[in-house]
């Protein structure tokens, strides 16, 4: 369809109005017209369509400016539901949420290592089937399944090309799940999914550019520009963990030396603990000891934070985002990591304004990635064009 056609313009306006309601609810028709510069008749006509589709509802009356009180509009959060899947590297975690990301049901299945492509896909099927089994949800209200997966993902084909943490390649996930459940399937790299989930559910408003970084067993980043994920020309944008920090450092699983991932991932922290703490302990144990007042363990976490700060400074110089959100298991030590990260950025950023780039920990906790998987479907639902 020609982009200049009336029908295309109508669908663009529909998207504008739907997302204005989503971001600003409760909101009146008059306020939508004022803020979007659309005519009141256009707004009223499209709102009627959205209400007929069940996506928008009228609720409480707003404040009057002298005349009749305006009727306020909301997204009908329970019009549809979505399934989110966070796959691996140890478990497959599934949820069913409404359109606001409220979780109604959960299910988890363990991944037994070593595992084949077929066994991995079968575990996915069992996890989702178990989710349906424990819910009372009408399947007709489920718009699809979104899945977040570590490694390199071909988004269009719905195929996981490389999943290094479970040593698998070329897993044709979309094809298998579509055949099994008859639902729309969306698959994305876990860090990118987390970034999109942050932009939808993290309370960040209408921030134009945001980076979300997942620091756990691996290290990855997702970049959101104008509400959309940035994939790059070959689909590897955001491989933050494979930024070279030390030319003579340890060999990374990617084959290169001195990647950021070899210094700040959960596995790297445990391996480096012998050098700094005199024993090999996990990041969780290091954090627990720091909380008891151990300066040695607190200083070690501060050094990890400084290293993350070096990587983030590079990211700021390259992309200059409005906000950086940090998540993943390693960030459970945020009390010690964040101050060191911010000090390093303030010390090394190119300009004073760049040094003030907002860096925060996710407010979504352990659900950041699985909610990101849900958001893959919501982008499709709310983009009516």
- Please report the pLDDT score of residue 63 as a whole number: 58
CA distances from 114 to 89, 90, 117, 169 (A): 11, 11, 10, 13
Domain of 343, in residue numbers: 205-362
Same domain, 209 and 353: yes
Residue 68 within any structural domain of the chain: yes
- Mean pLDDT, to the nearest integer, of 175-181? 96
Mean pLDDT, residues 128-132:
95
Q: Average pLDDT in the 152-161 region?
A: 92
Q: Domain check: are 339 and 209 in the same one?
A: yes
| Separation between Cα atoms, residue 42 and residue 207, nearest integer Å | 27
Identify whether 49 is part of a domain: yes
Tell me, yes or no, whether 59 and 124 share the same domain. Answer: no
Is the per-residue pLDDT at 361 higher than 50? yes
pLDDT digits (tens, 9 = 90+) for 302-348: 999 999 999 999 999 999 999 999 999 999 999 999 999 999 999 99
Q: Is 7 left (phi over 0), alpha (psi -120 to 50) or beta?
A: alpha
Number of structural domains the chain divides into: 3
Within-domain flag for 215: yes
**309 within a domain of the structure (yes/no):** yes
Residue 2 — very low, low, confident or very high, per pLDDT cuts 50/70/90? very low
Number of Cβ within 10 Å of residue 7's Cβ equals 9
Q: Is 357 within the bounds of a domain?
A: yes
User: Does residue 137 contact residue 81 with C-beta atoms inside 8 Å?
Assistant: yes
Rg (CA), the chain: 23
Cα separation of the two ends of the chain: 11
Phi-psi region of 61 (alpha: psi -120 to 50; beta: other; left: phi over 0): beta
Backbone phi, psi, residue 55, to 5°: -85, -25
Q: Sheet of 71-75: strands edge to edge? A: 27-28, 71-75, 56-61
Q: Give the CATH number of the domain where residue 38 resides.
A: 1.10.10.10
Same domain, 352 and 377: no
Tokens at 117, concatenated: 């492509």
Q: Which of 75, 96, 125 represents a domain boundary (last residue)?
A: 75
**Across 134-138, 145-149, 189-193, 342-346, least confident range:** 134-138
Q: Whole-number mean pLDDT of the chain?
A: 90
- Answer whether residue 1 shows pLDDT above 50: no
Domain termination site, one of 35, 56, 75? 75
Per-residue model confidence (pLDDT) at position 186: 96
In the β-sheet with 142-149, what is the strand arrangement from edge to edge? 103-110, 91-97, 81-87, 142-149, 185-189
Is 188 part of a structural domain of the chain?
Answer: yes
Same domain, 222 and 347: yes
Does 191 lie in the same domain as 87?
A: yes
Q: What is the 3-state secondary structure (H, E, C) of the chain?
A: CCCCCHHHHHHHHHHHHHHHHHHHCCEEHHHHHHHHCCCHHHHHHHHHHHHHCCCEEEEEECCCCCCCCCEEEEECCCCCEEEEEEECCCEEEEEEECCCCCEEEEEEEECCCCCCHHHHHHHHHHHHHHHHHCCCCCHHHEEEEEEEECCEEECCCCEEEEEHHHCEEEECHHHHHHHHHCCCEEEEEHHHHHHHHHHHHCCCCCCCEEEEEEECCCEEEEEEECCEECCCCCCCCCCHHHCECCCCCCECCCCCECECHHHHCHHHHHHHHHHHHCCCCCHHHHHHHHHCCCHHHHHHHHHHHHHHHHHHHHHHHHHCCCEEEEECHHHHHHHHHHHHHHHHHHHHCCCHHHHCCEEEECCCHHHHHHHHHHHHHHHHHHCCC
Whether pLDDT at 200 is above 80 = yes
Q: pLDDT, tens digit, for every residue of 29-73?
A: 999 999 999 999 999 999 999 999 888 999 866 555 555 667 899
The mean pLDDT of 199-226, rounded to a whole number, is 86
Q: What is the pLDDT of residues 224-247, one digit of tens each?
A: 888 788 988 888 888 899 999 999
Nearest one of 373, 78, 64, 32 to 214, comparing CA atoms: 373
| Dist CA 303 CA 289 (whole Å) | 16
Q: Would you state the pLDDT for residue 4?
A: 46
Residues 214 and 311 in one domain: yes
- pLDDT tens, residue by residue, 97-109: 999 999 999 999 9
* Cα 16 → chain centroid: 22
**Residue 1 belongs to some domain of the structure:** no
Q: Note whether 329 and 357 are same-domain residues.
A: yes
Domain final residue pick, 33, 55, 75: 75
Closest by alpha carbon to 382, among 10, 29, 21?
21
The enclosing domain of 104 has a CATH number of 3.30.420.40
Q: Are residues 180 and 234 in the same domain?
A: no
For residue 207, the model assigns a pLDDT of 74
Look at residue 68 in the predicted model and tell me its pLDDT.
66
Residues 62 and 148 in one domain: no
Is the pLDDT at 82 greater than 90, yes or no?
yes
Q: What is the pLDDT of residue 139?
A: 84
299: in domain: yes
> Is residue 30 a contact partner of residue 36, using CB atoms and an 8 Å limit?
no
**Residues 35, 103 within the same domain:** no
pLDDT of residue 3: 42
Residue 336 shares a structural domain with residue 212: yes
Predicted confidence at residue 206, as pLDDT, reads 66
């Amino acid at each position: 369809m020609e982009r200049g056609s009336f029908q295309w313009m109508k669908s663009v306006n529909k998207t504008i109005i739907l997302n204005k309601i989503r971001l600003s609810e409760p909101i009146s028709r008059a306020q939508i017209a004022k803020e979007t510069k659309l005519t009141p008749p256009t707004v009223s006509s499209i709102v009627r369509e959205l209400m007929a589709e069940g996506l928008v509802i009228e609720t409480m009356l707003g404040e009057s400016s002298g005349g009749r009180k305006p009727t306020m509009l909301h997204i009908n959060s329970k019009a549809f539901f979505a399934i989110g899947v966070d796959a691996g590297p140890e478990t497959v975690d599934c949820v069913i949420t409404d359109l606001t990301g409220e979780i109604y049901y959960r299910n988890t299945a363990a991944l037994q290592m070593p595992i084949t492509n077929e066994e991995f896909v079968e575990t996915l099927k069992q996890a989702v089937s178990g989710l349906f089994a424990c819910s009372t949800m009408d399947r007709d209200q489920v718009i699809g399944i979104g899945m977040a997966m570590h490694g390199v993902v071909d988004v269009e084909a719905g195929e996981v090309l490389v999943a290094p943490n479970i040593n698998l390649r070329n897993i044709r996930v979309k094809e298998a799940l579509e055949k099994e459940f008859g639902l729309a399937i969306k698959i994305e790299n876990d860090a990118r999914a987390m970034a999109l989930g942050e932009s939808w559910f993290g309370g960040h408003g209408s921030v134009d550019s945001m980076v979300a970084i997942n620091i756990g067993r691996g290290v990855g980043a997702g970049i959101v520009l104008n509400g959309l994920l940035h994939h790059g020309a070959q689909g590897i944008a955001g491989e933050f963990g494979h930024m070279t920090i030390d030319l003579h450092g340890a060999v990374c699983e990617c084959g290169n030396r001195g990647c950021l991932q070899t210094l700040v991932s959960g596995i790297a922290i445990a391996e480096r603990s012998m050098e700094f703490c005199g024993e090999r302990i996990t990041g969780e144990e290091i954090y627990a000891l720091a909380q008891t007042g151990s300066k040695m363990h607190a200083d070690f976490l501060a050094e990890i934070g400084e290293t993350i700060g070096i990587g983030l400074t590079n990211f700021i110089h390259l992309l200059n985002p409005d906000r950086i959100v940090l998540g993943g298991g390693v960030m459970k030590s945020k009390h010690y990591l964040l101050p060191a990260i911010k000090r390093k950025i303030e010390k090394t950023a190119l300009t004073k304004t760049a040094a003030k780039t907002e860096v925060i920990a996710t407010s979504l906790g352990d659900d950041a990635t699985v909610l990101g998987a849900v958001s893959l479907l919501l982008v499709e639902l709310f983009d009516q064009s």
